[in-house]
Structure 1
Amino acid sequence: MILVAVSGGSDSKGLLLALHEAISRCGFSAFSLSACTVDHALRPESADEAHAVAAFCTGKGIPHVIRRWQGEKPASGLQAAAREERYRLLAAAAEERGASCIVTAHTADDQAETIAMRQSRSQPEAPGLSGMAQAVLVDRCAWVLRPFLGLSRVDIRDYLTARGEGWFDDPSNSNSRFERVRVRGGLPADAMPAVDRMAAAGEARRRSSKRVAELLVSNAAVFEGLVARLDPALAATAGDPGCSRAIFSVAAVIGGRPYPPGRETAARISAFLASGNDGRMTAGRVVFDRRHSGLYLYREARGLPELVVQPGESALWDCRFLVSNRGPEPILVSAGAEKAELRARLIAAGLPEQVVKRAAKAAPGWSATGPGGDEPLAAALHLPSPGIESSIGLYDTFLPCFDLMMANSIAVLFGRDRYLAPPVHDVLTEKTAWA
């Protein structure tokens, strides 16, 4: 089953109709469709539009569900927050309905805007400049496919018009409050990337990911999810784009960040590494500790939070570790407790004693708490230890298919299972009927 994300706009309605025609008329009987409309509840008319989409789907015999974004909406970063919530709701709907994948109607127009926005704030060789991937894994559980990335919005609207179908126009698409709208207004008429150029950029990104994966396998080790040791040769060639991407990606995970360091921070780190001198510097919550035996990365011991995790629940601590409470009482997760056993294990693994001493200060520890969640209970309770798993902010929420090999190498380094493999999607990307 394919779950189609459909808002009622021209792009998503065209995608739904095209897939429906392909399945019902062109011999793709092995596939079935379901549709989901996410009502972001940002406009008074959005609920009526969602119900209109439901009625359209009913007329076509397509099962349809509506999911609504509940709760308060952020005053800033609204579009980014809406995007994350939309994908979260879509992934949940896909799981509920047993769909093997989700499809969205991003177009070549969207691709051009995305590339322009990334160019404005990225280094020239940044991997994100390849644009949106044709497939992306969301929340480690659902693959989202984008079969329309090679089509223009004009093509889709012509297709709908030829079939006598209308669509909704979201007024937020012309609201200059949003960066994408401002970028759209400044793009030249010929800005849409050609399909072959997108394919070439995607292949370049894939090759970069493969090289980084190989570099990490050969030159990196991670201990307890806390300390990364990189081969001195990798640090010495940090000016190479592949080597720097390997270093900065591991640093992002060690520091609990969803992105590698920004342009200015990356330049400072690269200058430090290029000097060839032993020493330490801190950037992006990570200590870069260069020694003769290697480059060691670990979380700086500042700004470490406390977190109460209720029985049977999981929560993210310091954006680095997912903690699952498997006991009957709340637990308090914090740093700074005595960790003699942990330090002994790290030293036995061959890490320098001073690196271990500093890194252990930022390790998660736990204790039982009282009903108020703030008073440690007696150790005699002997509660089961919580499950603790490294979080990979780079890829746990959104993993582009370009980077799957690299993401898997990072997951293995941090003691995690490999990511979910993508479904086969050649049928969707190459054989959707427009005639």
Structure 2
Amino acid sequence: MILAAVSGGSDSKGLLLALHEAITLGGFSAFSLSACTIDHALRPESTEEARAVAAFCAEKGIPHTIRQWLGDKAATGLQAAARAARYGLLADAAQDIGALCIVTAHSADDQIETIAMRQSRSEPDAPGLAGMAAGVLVDRRAWVWRPFLHLRRADIRAFLAARGEGWFDDPSNSNRRFERVRMRQALNEDGSSSVDIFVAARARFGSSARVALLISRHAHGFDGLVARIDPALSTRMADLDCTRAVLSIAAVVGGRHHLAGRETAARLAAFLRDAEGGRMTAGRVVFDRRKSGLYLYREARGLPQVELQPGERFLWDDRFLVSNTGPDRIAVRAGGETAELRARLIAAGLPEPVAKRAVKAAITFSAVTEGSYRHDAANSLPPRLCVQTSIGPYDTFLPCFDLMMANSIATLFGRDNYLSPPVHDVLTEKSG
């Protein structure tokens, strides 16, 4: 089963028709097709447009569902919030029907605009200049594929016109409030890009593979709380792959969704070049440099305290995803009774001063009983409580470029590998 995301615009409608024809007429009958329209509820016309897509799918015999983005909408960062909501709802729909993957109709025009926007704010050799990946894992549970990235929008519209089909034009596509619209209007008529997409994509794959190897060889994790980086890696910050490796680990330790920017990277490189040891803090992370290596741990301030109700999930400090499947309310906070955890970290090879500082930001739990706290050991979990380290840069959106790198980080922090792409599974089955 393939789930196609269809808005009613030219690109997504062209993708739906192309897939439908391939399955019904092109000899791909082993596949089945379903469609989903996300109604963002941002325009009065959106509900009627979603219904029109449903009617079109009914005519073609394609199963279709509508998912609506409910709740208050963000006053700022609306497009980013809508994107996150859209993909989350698509992943829900895919899970509900057991779809192998989701497909979206991003075109070569979208790719050129994306690269142009990233060029305007990135270094010439930044990984983001590879553009949108052909595949991306959403929420660790659904792969999204973009089979039209090599096609121009004009060609897709010609395909629709040849079949007598029309489409909807979203007025937000001409609203200069959004960066993408401004960039689209600023690009040359031929839509040319100064970046060779295929070369940049190969470079991104290569960099991620090298970073994965560096992390597996030179980084060591301790209870999802501390990472030690060998001098062979931490002293080579002039190398872009080494910088990516260190900053990626730091993002997880600090509970960040993005790698640190240029200024922080430059400050860290200068700190590591200094012959003296010592500590510096950036992005909520303490970089503790010693002869045995560079130790990274969360600084002990700004740490939240929350109460988790039965059945609730919560991303604590943006570092740990906590799920309470038991009948009791659970208090989640930092610190607490940490002597046992500290002793275990020291026994595992952490310098005692590092262990003492690091445990101050360790996640701890207490069952709430009649308004008071019943304290549990810092390193033990109450019954039916699940805790996983969050890998902020990749848990929501993981481009296929970075799968090897993301898996090496997951291993470092005691997590299972990410879901393999469905193409990998099919190839494995055939080779077996």
Query: Which TM-score band (shorter chain)?
Result: over 0.9
Cα offset, 1:243, TM superposition: 0.4
Quick check: 1:236–1:276 contact (8 Å CA) kept in 2?
A: no
- The code of the aligned residue for 1:115 comes to I
* 1:10-25 superposed matches below 5 A: 10-25=10-25
Quick check: 1:109–1:192 contact (8 Å CA) kept in 2?
A: no
Go from structure 1 to structure 2 and tell me whether the alpha carbon gap of 1:169 and 1:398 turns closer, same or farther (over 3 Å shift): same
Aligned twin of 2:78: 78
Aligned twin of 1:415: 414
Greater CA drift, 220-229 or 200-209 = 200-209
Quick check: 2:218–2:233 contact (8 Å CA) kept in 1?
A: yes
Cα offset, 1:118, TM superposition: 1.5
Quick check: 1:119–1:129 contact (8 Å CA) kept in 2?
A: yes
- The code of the aligned residue for 1:135 comes to G
Aligned twin of 1:273: 272
Aligned twin of 2:35: 35
Cα offset, 1:312, TM superposition: 2.9
Distance 1:75 1:214 in 2: 42
Cα offset, 1:309, TM superposition: 1.5
Distance 1:294 1:385 in 2: 37
**RMSD (CA atoms):** 1.9
Q: TM-score, normalised on structure 2? A: 0.95
Cα offset, 1:59, TM superposition: 0.5
Distance 1:172 1:147 in 2: 24
Aligned twin of 2:430: none
Aligned twin of 1:143: 143
- The code of the aligned residue for 2:327 comes to P
Aligned twin of 1:323: 322
Deviations along 1:234-263, one digit per CA (max 9) or x if unpaired, are 111011001000000000000000111012
Matched, 1:119 2:119: yes
Aligned twin of 1:105: 105
Distance 1:399 1:123 in 2: 21
Deviations along 1:56-92, one digit per CA (max 9) or x if unpaired, are 0000000000000000001000000000000000000
Matched, 1:375 2:409: no
Greater CA drift, 138-147 or 152-161 = 152-161
Quick check: 1:108–1:192 contact (8 Å CA) kept in 2?
A: no
Aligned twin of 1:175: 175
Distance 2:420 2:68 in 1: 29
Greater CA drift, 335-344 or 135-144 = 335-344
Distance 1:192 1:29 in 2: 37
Go from structure 1 to structure 2 and tell me whether the alpha carbon gap of 1:135 and 1:350 turns closer, same or farther (over 3 Å shift): same
Quick check: 1:311–1:327 contact (8 Å CA) kept in 2?
A: yes
Q: Secondary structure at the match of 2:395?
A: coil
Quick check: 1:236–1:273 contact (8 Å CA) kept in 2?
A: yes
Aligned twin of 1:343: 342
Distance 1:302 1:426 in 2: 44
Deviations along 1:279-298, one digit per CA (max 9) or x if unpaired, are 11111111111111100001
Distance 2:176 2:376 in 1: 57
Distance 1:408 1:161 in 2: 44
- The code of the aligned residue for 1:41 comes to A
Distance 1:50 1:118 in 2: 31
Matched, 1:129 2:129: yes
* 1:141-220 superposed matches below 5 A: 141-193=141-193, 197-220=196-219
Q: Secondary structure at the match of 1:369?
A: strand
Matched, 1:9 2:6: no
Q: TM-score, normalised on structure 1? A: 0.94
- The code of the aligned residue for 1:375 comes to S
Distance 2:369 2:11 in 1: 53
Distance 2:418 2:271 in 1: 33
Greater CA drift, 182-191 or 386-395 = 182-191
Deviations along 1:401-425, one digit per CA (max 9) or x if unpaired, are 0100001000011000000000129
Aligned twin of 1:47: 47
Distance 2:376 2:249 in 1: 36
Deviations along 1:170-195, one digit per CA (max 9) or x if unpaired, are 0001111111111111112333459x
Cα offset, 1:343, TM superposition: 0.2
Aligned twin of 2:429: none
Cα offset, 1:317, TM superposition: 0.3
Q: Secondary structure at the match of 2:407?
A: helix
Gaps of 5+ in 2: 427-432
Deviations along 1:296-339, one digit per CA (max 9) or x if unpaired, are 00111111111221223321100000112243111010012120
Distance 1:188 1:266 in 2: 34
Distance 2:21 2:140 in 1: 31
Aligned twin of 2:64: 64
Quick check: 1:139–1:396 contact (8 Å CA) kept in 2?
A: yes
Cα offset, 1:153, TM superposition: 0.8
Go from structure 1 to structure 2 and tell me whether the alpha carbon gap of 1:49 and 1:206 turns closer, same or farther (over 3 Å shift): same
Distance 2:190 2:353 in 1: 57
Quick check: 2:229–2:294 contact (8 Å CA) kept in 1?
A: yes
Go from structure 1 to structure 2 and tell me whether the alpha carbon gap of 1:225 and 1:379 turns closer, same or farther (over 3 Å shift): closer
Cα offset, 1:426, TM superposition: 12
Greater CA drift, 261-270 or 345-354 = 261-270
Q: Secondary structure at the match of 2:422?
A: coil
Cα offset, 1:386, TM superposition: 2.5
Cα offset, 1:120, TM superposition: 2.1
Q: Secondary structure at the match of 1:7?
A: coil
Quick check: 1:37–1:67 contact (8 Å CA) kept in 2?
A: yes
Cα offset, 1:103, TM superposition: 0.1
Q: Secondary structure at the match of 1:388?
A: strand
- The code of the aligned residue for 2:248 comes to S
Distance 2:372 2:110 in 1: 52
- The code of the aligned residue for 2:272 comes to L
Matched, 1:393 2:395: no
Distance 1:153 1:147 in 2: 13
Greater CA drift, 79-88 or 277-286 = 277-286
Quick check: 2:105–2:148 contact (8 Å CA) kept in 1?
A: yes
